[in-house]
């Protein structure tokens, strides 16, 4: 296991993580991210993720995240519509089918359980 650490999320360097073109409903959103910690068994991930404005679909993992900057509306199929911005925490259930409308480039810190 990695030693304990701290990271300034707003300035962290991220790596491009191209979307599947089939996920893009509108605009030209670009995704980048970085896994900063992963458990030895690969079941727990901690990281940073960013997406530029546009509309995309996704199938979610079991995830808790906190928005660092930007804003989005996340429509969950058969469920609520979440509006998130800086300082907001959200929890997504594994298997949730979502449509993300990203209004301003959104950066989040996340914890995923597989």
Tens of pLDDT, residues 60-73: 999 999 999 999 99
- Total length of the chain: 114
Single out the residue of 106, 90, 86 nearest to residue 14, CA to CA: 106
Handedness of CA 67, 101, 46, 94 (dihedral sign): positive
For 92, other C-beta atoms within 10 Å of its C-beta total 21
Tens of pLDDT, residues 13-48: 999 999 999 999 999 999 999 999 999 999 999 999
| 94 confidence band (pLDDT: 50, 70, 90) | very high
104: left (phi over 0), alpha (psi -120 to 50) or beta: beta
Token digits of residue 107 = 């950066």
pLDDT of residue 1: 53
| 10 confidence band (pLDDT: 50, 70, 90) | very high
pLDDT of residue 52: 98
Tell me the longest C-alpha to C-alpha distance in the chain: 41
Question: What's the mean per-residue pLDDT of the chain?
Answer: 97
Q: Per-domain residue ranges for the chain?
A: 16-113
Contact 24, 52 (CB under 8 A): no
Domain 16-113 fold is Jelly Rolls (2.60.120)
Global model pTM greater than 0.85: yes
Across the range 83-96, mean pLDDT stands at 98
| 3 confidence band (pLDDT: 50, 70, 90) | confident
Contact 38, 44 (CB under 8 A): yes
């Amino acid at each position: 296991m990695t030693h304990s650490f701290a990271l300034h999320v707003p300035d962290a360097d991220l790596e491009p993580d191209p979307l599947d073109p089939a996920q893009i409903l509108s605009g030209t959103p670009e995704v980048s991210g970085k896994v900063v910690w992963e458990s030895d068994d690969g079941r727990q991930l901690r990281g940073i993720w960013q997406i530029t404005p546009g509309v995309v679909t996704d199938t979610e993992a079991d995830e808790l995240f906190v928005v660092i900057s930007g804003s989005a509306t996340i429509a969950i199929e058969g469920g609520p519509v979440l509006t998130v911005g800086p300082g907001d925490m959200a929890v997504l259930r594994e298997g949730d089918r979502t449509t993300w409308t990203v209004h301003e480039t959104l950066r989040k810190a996340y914890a995923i359980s597989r």
